[in-house]
Homo-oligomer: A and B are copies of this chain.
Amino acid sequence: MGKYRILAEEGRAKRAEFETVHGTIQTPVFMNVGTAAAIKGAVSTMDLQGIKTQVELSNTYHLHVRPGDEVVKKMGGLHKFMVWDKPILTDSGGFQVFSLAGLRRIKEEGVYFNSHVDGRKIFMGPEESMQIQSNLASTIAMAFDECPSSVADRKYVQDSVDRTARWLQRCKVKMQELNQREDTINPHQMLFGINQGAIYPDIRIDHAKRITEMDLDGYAVGGLAVGESHEEMYHILEEVVPYLPKDKPTYLMGVGTPANILEGVERGIDFFDCVYPTRNGRHGHVYTNEGKLNLFNQKYELDPRPIEEGCQCPACRHYSRAYIRHLLKAKEMLGMRLCVLHNLYFYNNMMEEIRAALEEGRFASYKRAKLEGMMRR
């Protein structure tokens, strides 16, 4: 089980560290998303070493479908397969099953659905998800849950979180069993529970209390950033995070913009992940301390400056906006790669700034200045 130590606090915001068998994670942390065991935009794990990445996140569902978790297991697990010796978190596949897969039927035992790659029938329940994640041998496995729509009615949401709570019990039992098997690659694999309940604070709080009793390695808030407003999301965090254990890491799944992250940290979140920096980078949208730039814009045609002056990312250390714009316009993959490297560095570096600000008791002023800067354009 991971050891979690709070190093500094400011209001609800926590600066902590979390020990894992793959090294200590300094939080708050942004996990870099490598869905199919690769960061989109031609970024390798060697590149991650140079852009302050602490944790890589991969998707159980995608890897189960291709290349297959059995293949990854035979190759020695995800760490060996993609050549990354730092922590990896795998999601449970639940979210993808509910968002990507075709026709699906949810039963007490799990979910029946069709692969989005070849249409073949797949069944995934708590035990299957744990087995797959054990095969992948990530540092942290996520519980198998249902992520109900934020516009679902109370009755549906209540039934769904009740089932998710029952599934969590099964996840825990299965993970304990898998960790004790002889052929397990990572016998120290950790399990995080996931809080659900859409935008109903009372359902979320009740669910948070129930899963907290299960004494897991960490807890996530799931089912946010899926259609509700930012204000609703912040409100839910204010309501529910106090009911999750403070002495464990708290993970806000799939979030978000730099502003979302600053607000999340303020509300006690330790872990974040999001596809924005990679997806935006692939579209030539890059983050700076003065807001996002669209490098396709004509005004960068002759701009000799880096994306951001002073930035130490591999793109800014060498290349101009004019060159990267040309690459994007000419559909050269290198343009996407440079933008993705910059964006991931921007996020990872912002987390480093956040940690320093928390250590020095100046998070509130840091947050205000950062948000003001980013609003400038």
Which positions in A face B, CB cutoff 8 Å?
Answer: 36-46, 62, 66-67, 71, 74-76, 81-83, 301-302, 304, 314, 318-320, 322-323, 325-327, 329-330, 332-338
Contacts and interface: CB of A to CB of B under 8 A. Distances in A.
Most B CB contacts (10 A, CB to CB) among A42, A319, A337 go to A42
A324 to B, nearest CB: 10
Contacts of A335: 38
Given A44-B338, A75-B302, A301-B71, A36 B330 contact: yes
Contacts of A71: 301-302, 322, 326
B40 A329 contact: no
A337 B326 contact: no
Given A46-B314, A301-B71, A302-B75, A333 B337 contact: yes
Contact of A333 (B41, B62, B318): B41
A319 B83 contact: yes
B326 A40 contact: no
Contact of A37 (B44, B81, B314, B326): B326
A39 B82 CA distance: 24
Contacts of A302: 71, 74-75
Contacts of A62: 330
A108 B283 CA distance: 45
Contacts of A332: 36, 38, 40, 42
A338 to B, nearest CB: 7
Nearest to A303: B75
Contacts of A75: 302, 304, 320, 322-323
- Stoichiometry, as copies per complex, reads 2
Nearest to A66: B330
Contacts of A44: 318-319, 334, 337-338
Given A39-B334, A42-B337, A75-B320, 17 more contacts: A37-B323, A38-B327, A38-B332, A41-B333, A42-B42, A42-B333, A42-B336, A44-B334, A45-B318, A66-B326, A71-B301, A74-B302, A75-B323, A76-B304, A82-B323, A83-B318, A333-B336
A83 B323 CA distance: 9
A330 B81 CA distance: 14
Contacts of A326: 36-37, 66-67, 71, 81
A299 to B, nearest CB: 13
26 contacts: A36-B332, A37-B326, A39-B334, A40-B332, A40-B333, A41-B42, A42-B42, A42-B333, A44-B319, A44-B334, A44-B337, A46-B318, A62-B330, A66-B329, A67-B325, A71-B301, A71-B322, A71-B326, A75-B302, A75-B304, A75-B320, A75-B322, A75-B323, A76-B304, A83-B318, A83-B323
Nearest to A38: B332
Contacts of A43: 334
A337 B302 CA distance: 28
A301 B333 contact: no
A71 B46 CA distance: 34
A301 B67 contact: yes
